[in-house]
Amino acid sequence: MGYGRLLKIDPVVVEWNYNIEYRHSYAEDSPFFMALGRGRLLGSKCKSCGFKYGTYRKYCMYCGSETDDIELPLHGKVHSFTTCYYSGETFRGDVPYTLVLVEFPGVDSLFMSRLFINSGEKPEIGMDIVAQFKKFQTFTVNDVYFVPA
């Protein structure tokens, strides 16, 4: 920041690059991201009230108790979907791509992921899908994705 390239005058507008190295810690959510590298999808079960979360969280949002890690079933169903033809700048090279909310049998809440589907096929609510894992870990939530079962 600070060194500008002149874009226009009257008014004077300068453009600079706003770029930072940023350290994002997954902190207490780290076990989830580590497990993806071993082909395991973790959710959480509350030690106290038993609520089963489809998205990993270390503490229960209903009763505040600590949760246990649980292994989520790899098979689920599409709860909702959207295909994106535009995106944020970071994912511009990825469009079009499909996002889904996944429901798992016996689990009380959902999980958001990408669905890879053959062109010509259309995602639908209730579609059976199955988790796949990236061979080379990126250490992001993209290390798991879904395909039609």
Partner 1 sequence: MADNQRKVYMIAGGVTPFKKINFNDDFRLNVKHSLDYALKDSGMKTEDIDGSVSAYFSDHLQGQLIAGAMSNDFIGLAGKPSKRIEGGGATGGLAFQTAYEEIASGTMDTCLAYGFENMSHVGTWRGNDIIALGSDASFDYPLGGFYTAYYALMATRHMYEFGTTEKQMAMVSVKNHGNAMHNPYAQAPMDITVEDVLKSPVVSSPIKMLDICLMSDGAACAILASEEVAKSVSGKPVLIKSIGSSSDTMRLADRPFGKVPLLPNENDSMYRDLKYPGVHSFRAGRLAARMAYRKAGITSPEKEIDFAELYDAYTSAEIQAYEDMGFCPYGQGGKFVEDGRSMLDGDIPVNMEGGLQASGHAIGATGIMQAVYAFWQLQETVHKHLGSNRLQVKNPQRGLIHSHAGTGAYEAVTIMEAV
Q: Which residues bind partner 1 (CB under 8 A)?
A: 8, 11, 13, 18, 24, 26, 29, 53-55, 57, 61, 79-92, 94-95, 97, 99, 101, 108-114, 125, 140-142
Rule CB under 5 A: is residue 49 a binding residue for Zn ion?
yes
Minimum Å distance from CB 92 to partner 1? Answer: 6
Residue 103 contacts residue 76 (beta carbons within 8 Å) = yes
User: Could you say which of 13, 14, 63, 147 contacts Zn ion (CB under 5 A)?
Assistant: 63
14 or 49, CB closer to Zn ion?
49
65 or 132, CB closer to Zn ion?
65
Minimum Å distance from CB 139 to partner 1? Answer: 10
Amino acid present at 55:
T
Query: What sign for the dihedral angle of Cα 89, 54, 40, 63?
Result: positive
Q: How crowded is the C-beta side of 144, counted as CA atoms within 13 Å?
A: 25
Q: How far apart are CA 126 and CA 103, in angstroms?
A: 9
Q: How far apart are CA 95 and CA 93, in angstroms?
A: 6
Q: How far apart are CA 45 and CA 26, in angstroms?
A: 19
Amino acid present at 108:
D
63 or 149, CB closer to Zn ion?
63
109 binds, among partner 1, Zn ion, none (CB under 5 to 8 A by kind): partner 1
Using CB under 5 A, list all residues that contact Zn ion: 46, 48-49, 60, 62-63, 65
